[in-house]
Structure 1
């Protein structure tokens, strides 16, 4: 199994996540600003006046939660703050790359019957409500504690019982997360109305449910067109699993790398090529503010909702995706039985740190898990 130290480190990451996403925002005024959005006469965040939509479902507690979430994410998609928009894009892309890894783990034969590992929709809803940096490290720690694929990373545990599910997963993810996200980013009121933008922002918050529904619908369609899909031989299953696994990992790797390079590239351009950006972008993308969030144990206050939202996204990104990379490395080292080897960890952290600089931390986790899978499958062939 992955070492106890790794699991405890991930739980510490979760504790820090709860503080930076809930304790610190309670001190720095972000939660206060978000609470004001549910008050009568509230306006949408930002310089443009438009009444804040406060009724989405007719269920008061749910509407209040959605008002808070929509108001928070509206600052990332209204086009006024490029630093917030880029942080949101990078965080979302890193989470989606990790989501492919988490989904793949839920389909493995060795994890069959594990409620913790297979309940991905419940995990996703927890991320929406609580935050990725709070929930993901707990899931990673529990996975390392309970997964047979980690304790015994052999071909028969890694294989997928129904490879077609993994073939569908990237498509379902694009439908369930990508479409609502794309629509809510359209400019208002030039392309869509403010009400439409707010409604799609609320709809987007249910992305784990939409991914689940898309996945099940596409699986039904695939079964209808290929009724023998569930009756493959072991050899056919294996060939399909390898093909679909590689496609899914390439999708996850591209998702992580694309947003990471845009995010880091523009931030570094503001430092090294200041003349290439407008004055507004130059100010918003200063690396000391764009890349580095404030000390969460300080008494620093957010003067506006967007400022507090940026800090929230920054800490969610830093803690959540670093936890993802550490988990990926732990999975990789478990394949070699070196999960408790300090030297192996130091070497792996350096190696995957370099990879993360190129493709993002979640991308580095994809590479680590992918290597584990390929080695296990190759060992079976030998």
Structure 2
């Protein structure tokens, strides 16, 4: 019953994602403003006047899509809107943490042959184009429907045939997602030109492709240098899978907690000690401005692109991370044997709330999947 309910809720969250990320932006005028960025003579969003870069690949449809994406994210990285930047930081940290969990699921033995679950690079392209809140809940729902690793999984189903790939995954994410993100945030025009900043922002939109390429290249290099990494006993695979999984989960937790604590700390400081902030950024950093999204119905209209970007990011966070946490808790609970008492359920709820408050929603998701793995893989037997 709980599993069926989670599947239904994830589908509903995906529908909510499509409305808040596409229906609502169409209604409030954000999509119209973004579309105008591809017109001749368009300038970058914000108070600075500089030409909008509109050619990236020479392929019209791709360049138009990249122009829209670059316009959207430029408002988060140009330093003029602290609320948009902080929301972007928060979302980035949560998605990065969730991506560790998604990549790990794609590598597990139990999910072999399930294209939708293992083609994480293609899934990431969908996230970049459509939005995390739209696509991720669908992936999570399909995982609950199709993966043998969900209900009473066996240890060999959670193992990875080549465990070193788990250890490489966080490195691939840092290179494929982190490096382009860092480069696109370099200030213009003091460090890079406006055109270069836009170019790096366009390159960053292919983050899942860069992660996939890095994972492939590093895995190939490791297996070429050490051929024993792909030839191990089943017991060695399980030992190393468990060891590398812990490292991957720790990386996910750090990613989530970093963005979570940074956002809440800065916003909390702005609320408690307003004298520390300039008159420009103080109103933008208030907790209500950062963490309370506008109601996605009625007649709220976007006057400037940054306002629409803030609403978009906020709903991407609310819907996307809720789906991530719901999925992880469902996976954790579905792996348990026997009945759970009301007291045990209450304790788990309190623990989840506290962990989420400390580590962020996707950090709590990593903790949930980690606890499932430790229980199934047999912590006492394999450490």
Question: Under TM normalisation by the shorter chain, which class is it?
Answer: over 0.9
**Equivalent position of 1:229 in the other structure:** 229
Note if contact 2:86-2:290 (Cα within 8 Å) is conserved in structure 1: no
Structure-to-structure mapping, 1:300-379, within 5 angstroms: 300-337=300-337, 347-378=347-378
Over aligned residue pairs, what C-alpha RMSD do you find? Answer: 1.8
The alpha-carbon distance between structure 1 residues 276 and 135, as it changes in their structure 2 partners (threshold 3 A), is: same
The alpha-carbon distance between structure 1 residues 338 and 19, as it changes in their structure 2 partners (threshold 3 A), is: farther
Q: Distance in 2 between matches of 1:341 and 1:292?
A: 35
Cα drift, residue 281 of structure 1: 2.1
Structure-to-structure mapping, 1:1-382, within 5 angstroms: 3-337=3-337, 347-378=347-378, 381=381
Note if contact 2:34-2:305 (Cα within 8 Å) is conserved in structure 1: yes
| Residue deviations 1:134-185 (CA, integer Å, cap 9, x gap) | 0000101110111100023221111111101101000111111111110000
Q: Distance in 2 between matches of 1:345 and 1:119?
A: 35
Moved more, 297-306 or 151-160: 151-160
| Residue deviations 1:327-350 (CA, integer Å, cap 9, x gap) | 110011011157999886665443
Q: Distance in 1 between matches of 2:341 and 2:123?
A: 30
Cα drift, residue 276 of structure 1: 2.5
The alpha-carbon distance between structure 1 residues 239 and 302, as it changes in their structure 2 partners (threshold 3 A), is: same
Cα drift, residue 57 of structure 1: 0.7
Cα drift, residue 379 of structure 1: 6.8
Cα drift, residue 112 of structure 1: 1.0
Note if contact 1:339-1:345 (Cα within 8 Å) is conserved in structure 2: no
> Normalized against structure 1, the TM-score is what?
0.96
Q: Distance in 1 between matches of 2:89 and 2:260?
A: 9
The alpha-carbon distance between structure 1 residues 13 and 307, as it changes in their structure 2 partners (threshold 3 A), is: same
> Normalized against structure 2, the TM-score is what?
0.96
Aligned partner of residue 323 in structure 2, secondary structure: helix
**Structure 2 alignment gaps of length 5 or more:** none
Q: Distance in 1 between matches of 2:149 and 2:137?
A: 18
The alpha-carbon distance between structure 1 residues 344 and 70, as it changes in their structure 2 partners (threshold 3 A), is: farther
Cα drift, residue 266 of structure 1: 1.1
Note if contact 1:6-1:330 (Cα within 8 Å) is conserved in structure 2: yes
The alpha-carbon distance between structure 1 residues 352 and 338, as it changes in their structure 2 partners (threshold 3 A), is: farther
The alpha-carbon distance between structure 1 residues 4 and 337, as it changes in their structure 2 partners (threshold 3 A), is: farther
Q: Distance in 2 between matches of 1:190 and 1:13?
A: 42
Q: Distance in 2 between matches of 1:338 and 1:4?
A: 18
Aligned partner of residue 280 in structure 1, secondary structure: coil
Moved more, 311-320 or 2-11: 2-11
| Residue deviations 1:46-75 (CA, integer Å, cap 9, x gap) | 100001011111111111000000000000
Q: Distance in 1 between matches of 2:338 and 2:253?
A: 25
The alpha-carbon distance between structure 1 residues 192 and 339, as it changes in their structure 2 partners (threshold 3 A), is: farther
Q: Distance in 1 between matches of 2:106 and 2:194?
A: 38
Cα drift, residue 351 of structure 1: 2.3
Note if contact 2:83-2:289 (Cα within 8 Å) is conserved in structure 1: no
